[in-house]
Structure 1
Amino acid sequence: MSRRMGEQVGLRVVVFNYQPQAVEAVVVLSASPDYKFVHVEENGIVSIQVKQAEHSSIKWKGRTVAGRASKSACAWSCSTTSRKPSRRWSFCLPRLTTSRTFFNQVEGPDRCRQGEQVGLRVVVFNYQPQAVEAVVVLSASPDYKFVHVEENGIVRSYNPRTSFGEHQFFVYIAAGDAATVHVPVVPTRLGDVHVHLHASTLQGQHKYTKKITVEADGLPQHRHQSVLLDLSNRAYVFQYMHVNVTETPIIPYEVDRYYVFGSNRARVSVVGDVVGPLFPTMPINATSLLRLPMDSAEQNMFSFAANMYFTLYMRLINQRNRTLEKDAFYHMNILYQRQLSFMKPDGSFSLFRSDW
């Protein structure tokens, strides 16, 4: 059997004993300058030695390739390449098994509403041969509060007992097992909130940061103001943009508000065309242009027409882009096939499909 130079070869030696009694045997690998023994470190870890040729001589320089171990226990197939002066390529495919002895994983929603209670599930893994005692810590932050679970698991939905500061949870994890800790929190502000958690033992600790996007309650209301700029003669300086939004959401002597505090935001875009940005998304559809769903035949046809007219407009203004056209025609073909699914036996089209 042939092998490449520098490739690690695993030999399996099977010793048979057909005697009526048990025996003790010694397997010996004889010494030779033609091969070397590969040492397997603790937990089955083997470092790959990459040999690099220097010009036309036979001198080799040993290097160790180091990488970040995976969180879970898994097998890796690594490929190493070396180019010789004759421009030949050699490949070596050793197989490694890597894992971290202790780490934690946090699961939870990525988005929530203002004032909504979020439950984070922290799973702490222990791949060590002995049991450990770990502490899961929720770091203190002004962006979120911890929701206290009362006796018998009762939590008041609209008025729970909450508190700021650091909170700790003590868990016992058996060897090769995992423990789950539920951490309920409630964000205190809008925007992106980063929840910091870490699990610690006597051997070390592992940190994890969970990002949660907090959206304002209610329905979004959009206001738009467009200004035509003619930069052929001079530049323009705009100090204020006249957008129809009240300065304060407070309505005098009323409980209602014009909008939710902190939910107002503005975005300014400059486009070098009177129509607007050409293909802001691929494809453009009723969701990206009108914020409407695409489940009916009417909205599907609108999406098809929008892609078709944008493609035609790019040709008329001499800004044809074959890459964009290829993607646009690909999606228009899908939209056309979807439109045919709304056709009735008499040739007319219904608003919704009959097989729904």
Structure 2
Amino acid sequence: MPFEQYVLLVIPESEDYNFVYVEEKGLVDFFRPRLSTGEHQHFLPVGPEAIVEVFLPFAIKKQAGTIEIVIKMRTQVAWDEESWEIEVKPEGAPVIKHTSVLLDLKSRALFYEFLDIPIDESPIIQNSLLRRFVAGSPQASISISGDVFGPTSEDISVHYDNAFKGQRSLKSTDGLAFNFGATLWTLHYMRLTNQLTISEATAAFDFLNVQMAGILTQLKLTAWVTNLFQNAMFEEWEYLIYVDPRVLTDAVKFMLKHQNPDGDFGETEFYNITLDHKYRYQKSSFPNDVSIGLTALVTATIKEVVDSLHGTIRKRANQAILRAQSLIFCFKLLSI
């Protein structure tokens, strides 16, 4: 406006918050601020073509939920009213503990009204500003799974972030392979138990295609992922997720390239030690160190996919299986 105006701001009374008074020199006691309820009015002049910023401090009463704040404005020539919805999130800190309860539903249903949650009695850590938890934290999560298979989401896909509640970070191929494998076995379980409806599972198959496109491998992961790809080749859903047989052929060629003359399989030159301790080299009576775990894994994978191979690569795969099995048998004899 080209002239000075007097503005009256009105804050209506609400059960969701109190008004916080700002003391002299803009000071507010953080732990014990001066509060009041009821309607509040704030009168101020606004110069011509000017803007005035007004801070309105509130003390929210709710620990969690949604509140609405309404501000009314009146001048000599106009009035206005604005409202905002504010989501109040509960304070708290994660407690990396859980309570396990066995629900025996074989003969009858049971009803649990209360669950004991193990937490420390006091949040105070002696001689420290840190706290173990925030008292009164009102949020928790419950996960229910059967004794055969774990819980599944509505879209059936399984992501490691959700599976591990953000407590474990998987990177690159490990994470993609976990997502692919967990989702694939979920689909197979639902298919075998007559719970799978293809039209409702299209999002899961889209998820599988995305994860498959991003997988890059080393020898151990090549064997693991190749086994997953083989199990993903199923006639009923071939039009939803298609694994090109050339992928399996190239994967087997890659694995055969890393078989030693003795029959054992060794990691690539980029991984002189297998990242998974179960597949690391073991001292033996052979001239060289042999990774029996890695050899067994790769051999089992090649046996799984050999029927899908064609031509000379199939012959080479069968020969590699025989050499590896002979080595594993000799290793067992020497270990007795």
TM-score w.r.t. structure 2 length? 0.47
Instruction: Give the number of the structure whose residues are more often strand, by fraction.
Output: 1
- State the TM-score, normalized to the length of structure 1: 0.45
More helix by share: 2
